[in-house]
Structure 1
Amino acid sequence: MVVVTNDETELQAMSDHDNTNGKDEDHERNSPVVDSKNPLRRSVFRAMVQDFGPLWFTWCMNAGIISTLLHQFPYQFQGVQVLSTIGFLLDLTLYVIFSVIFTLRFLLYRGQALAEITSNVPELCLMPTWCIAFMTLVSFVSLTVSNATWGGENWTLLAVAMWWMATVWMFGKLFFCFITLIREHNLLDRQLPTLIIIPAVGVATLAAVGGVVTTSAHDLSANLAVPIILTSFCAAGVGLILGLILYTYLFHQLLAHGWPAAASTPTIFILVGPMGQTAAALQLLGAAANTHGRFAAYNHGTFLTASAAGPLEIACQLLALLMTGLGAVFFILSLCALADRAWHRELAWSPAWNAIIFPTGTLVTSTLLFADVMDSPFFRVVTAMLTLFLVMVFFINVVFTVWKAYKGQLLVVREDPRVKARLAELRKES
């Protein structure tokens, strides 16, 4: 015999009402399916798909940036390239799985999924992570696949095509995020989330990956490389200047309100991203123009020539050094934030810890490039230490994520928060 409580009766009534009056197909699909025995409980599939957010793509980003760093690790040892390839394959596998789940959310829940993303400022700001994760795969194809013994020109052309796809996608995301924020949200009376800087990081990442393609892809012609270099310089400018504009608000917010909430404190590491990624991008693009001879081979006008490429690379390295310094300041500031939370016994793991790896990885990419161009033991040691730090944080995230998923607190949360909210509304009305 099943005893139905008053709450369950109300929920069952809501479900019956939706089923009888919801003639619209989307409405029926988005209405909660209520089990009379446990009205808040969903199936595993529904719970995973309905709540799946863009935050999960940070796992792909983190695996991709660590794999890139291992591929060019300053202290090579036996097996490091294998570890790099394994990391890239993990990135690819997760990206495919997460993309399928995220796409299913929009296919199955349509209007509800879009409304929930656009009405939630942090979720909206995280949307570019899908494209950024895709760009880590562009790096994979350029660095590893195109240079494999079985790779070659066809994979280089694929990397170029993927990069141009990412260009359209990333700028589309940039405009979508900020236009939605302007039209639908009034943030004047609220604190800006640190995540608002992610679109700027995404555009800067586009520039950096353009540098990877033009410096590392196998047998890339100057006719294909130069348009990527020029577009990447434009993207680097957008990422840098937009990042500086947002820094003003976010740093003022830190001064006015203090650290973010304890669970969100690791998001301060995102401030490292625009500086670190733009610094890496400028170094790579300058090297592509001069060291790899793309401008000399193209040889058009007065700018796209060998004589202009040399000073351009030096200017890029100087600017990159300035940005690396600012990125290091934000990195140390972020570490101090975590230390302060730990001192007050407020430090606890949350999914926000995924924000530590990719932004810091962009700074490490810059120090890695400086280690090469300066033949600097200092930058090599810093790069190695920070890479090991990122690997350690990655495995900490794995352990806690698996544990919380096992406990039903993450990824698959069987209780439907939407049903709880509707029940609360019914109670208020009654």
Structure 2
Amino acid sequence: MKRKSFPDIIKNFAPSWFSVTMGTGITGILIYTTPYQFHGCHTLGKIFFALNCILFISFFVISVIRYTVFPYTINLLLCHPGQSMFIGTMPMGLATIVNSVVFMFPKEQYHWAPNLAFVLYFIDVAFMLFSVLVVPFFKLAIQKHSMETMYTTWLLPIVPAVVTAATGSVVASVLEYERAKLVLILSYLIWGLGFPLSMCIIAFYYSKTVIYKLPPPELLISVFLPLGPLGQGSFGILNMGITSTKLFNATGKEFVPVDMISKVAEAGGTLMGLVIWGFGIFWLSMAVACVIYGLAHNEVKFNIGWWGLTFPLGVFISSTNTLATLLQNRGFKIFGAVLTISLTILWFYCMFFTLRGIYTTKMFVAPCLTPQSFPTDNNVDQEPQPEPKPGTDEMEVLERELESAE
């Protein structure tokens, strides 16, 4: 296969590449904050953080160049029913950097860290609002979708709200009272913006999968995506309750004009976090089983979508570790450690094949730039050509061939 030129690489640089920063960022955070500390874990975590910053800045600059030099790709991206979903990966990638600043640079030693985290948080909120509000509008008004072609990628524009809310709870824990109160209230609102809708999409996807079976091999890994809003939703509501209590105890002031609100937030958050975590266990079990089944029955090649496995698993581990600390439960602690090791191995696996794909330039493919994606005289609202159903029965194919032969 002929290697792509540099302009072609820029033009085909899809937003799904930000999923690499999501996986790298969460892996570094988990190594740095693992309950079982080992010699060098903080150093290794900061190496991942530095790599994540380099990747995010590089991807952001390349994206700016892409939409500046090839401005028509913006409309094609937003109108594409598949690629537009990955716009949400950018705010989620930035969220891992914000969290890393708070965790890896304690405010007692690095006085600039809280201010940097505060500024980056609101930049992330702006990116998140574009993803959560603009992309669903295009989905509702312009794009063409069907239940048959619905996949868990529908979650990607919505999950940034859940991730940003959880990030806000982390940032608020290192801010002074007034700014912490602002960020925490905003985080609860943002959590409500994203989590309920994520649950609707998960329920819809479960029904669709039961009816139409598993997604095709190239999208098989996407069955792990619902673990993202479940893991981060659990972590977010847990940590917002914890931060509320810390904020109240540190200032001696009432957080809002309701008695005991901080204790209610922590107790209610703990119970809700446990329930959501339990749902996550079900989905983790089903996803693992489905992927093993799919790998055994299909040839599945590595693609950029495999990075979509790292972040959902990572945020679920964050929730597990938080429950281990909050409930002082060794079972959660051990389970989180086992998953962290698995995630680290998975990260190295994905990075190896990604670097190989970068070298060959095979991974620089933007589906929204395929010929059928370009606008025609009938505008973008034209009906798309019907696609073959995944898993079509062989007898039906044979019957159609016989009919055409007659």
| TM-score where L is the length of structure 2 | 0.86
SS in 1 for 2:35: coil
Gap regions ≥5 residues in structure 1 = 1-39, 423-430
- Report the AA paired with residue 124 of structure 2: A
| Amino acid aligned to 1:281 | G
Q: Provide the secondary structure at the position in 1 that maps to 2:262.
A: helix
Give TM-score scaled by structure 1 length.
0.82
- 2:349 matches 1:388: no
The aligned residue for residue 391 of structure 2 is none
Q: Call closer, same or farther: CA 1:58–1:387 in 2, change over 3 Å.
A: same
Cα RMSD, aligned residues only: 2.3
SS state of the match for residue 107, structure 2? coil
| One-letter amino acid of the counterpart of residue 162, structure 1 | L
CA–CA distance in structure 2, aligned partners of residues 349 and 343 of structure 1:
15
1:14-413 matched pairs, under 5 angstroms:
44-111=5-72, 113-147=73-107, 149=109, 151-152=110-111, 154-188=112-146, 190-215=148-173, 217=174, 220-293=175-248, 296-299=251-254, 301-303=256-258, 307-411=260-364
- Identity level (%): 20
Tell me, in whole angstroms, the C-alpha distance in 2 between the residues paired with 1:419 and 1:180.
Answer: 20
Give the secondary-structure state (helix, strand or coil) at the position aligned to 1:185: coil
User: Deviation digits for residues 147-196 of structure 1, max 9, x if unmatched?
Assistant: 373x21x3311211211221122112211101111121131364212111
User: CA offsets per residue over residues 282-334 of structure 1, 9 Å max, x none?
Assistant: 1111010113536854425523x6x2211220110000000001111111111
SS in 2 for 1:282: helix
- State the distance in 1 between where 2:331 and 2:255 align: 39
Separation in 2 of the partners of 1:137 and 1:124?
A: 23
Structure 1 residue identity aligned to 2:171: V
Task: Give the letter aligned to residue 205 of structure 1.
Answer: V
Larger Cα-atom Rg: 1
1:120-147 CA-to-partner distances (Å, cap 9, x unmatched) read 2221010011111111111122222353
Determine if contact 1:226/1:295 at 8 Å carries over to the other structure. no
Distance 1:231 1:192 in 2: 31
User: In the superposition, relative to structure 1, how do residues 257 and 47 fare at CA in structure 2: closer, same or farther (>3 Å)?
Assistant: same
Alignment partner of 2:364: what SS? coil
Q: Secondary structure at the match of 1:114?
A: helix
Residue 393 of structure 2 corresponds to which residue in structure 1? none
| Equivalent residues of 1:222, 1:298 under 8 A apart | no
Give the whole-Å Cα distance in 1 for the aligned partners of 2:147 and 2:165: 34
Amino acid at match of 1:136: T
Preserved CA contact (<8 Å) 1:353 1:397: yes
Q: What letter is aligned with 1:72? A: T
Name the CA shift for 1:43/1:300 in 2 (closer, same or farther; >3 Å).
closer
CA 1:88 to 1:105, structure 2 compared with 1: closer, same or farther past 3 Å? same
* CA distance in structure 1 between the aligned counterparts of 2:148 and 2:213, rounded to whole angstroms: 14
Moved more, 162-171 or 225-234: 162-171
Paired with 2:251 and 2:41, the residues of 1 have a C-alpha distance of 34
Q: Distance in 2 between matches of 1:323 and 1:421?
A: 38
Distance, in Å, in 1 between the alignment partners of 2:120 and 2:283 is: 32
SS at match of 1:293: helix
Residues 403 and 91 (structure 1 numbering): CA distance in 2 closer, same or farther, change over 3 Å? same
Q: Aligned partners of 2:86 and 2:364: how far apart in 1?
A: 16
Separation of aligned partners in 1, 2:333 and 2:62: 40
- Kept in 1: contact 2:81–2:145 (CA 8 A): no
Q: Distance in 2 between matches of 1:383 and 1:351?
A: 26
Letter in 1 for 2:329: S
User: Residues of 1 paired with 2:93 and 2:192: CA distance?
Assistant: 21
The aligned counterpart of 2:388 is none
Is the partner of 2:229 in helix, strand or coil? helix
How many Å apart are 1:43 and its aligned residue?
6.0
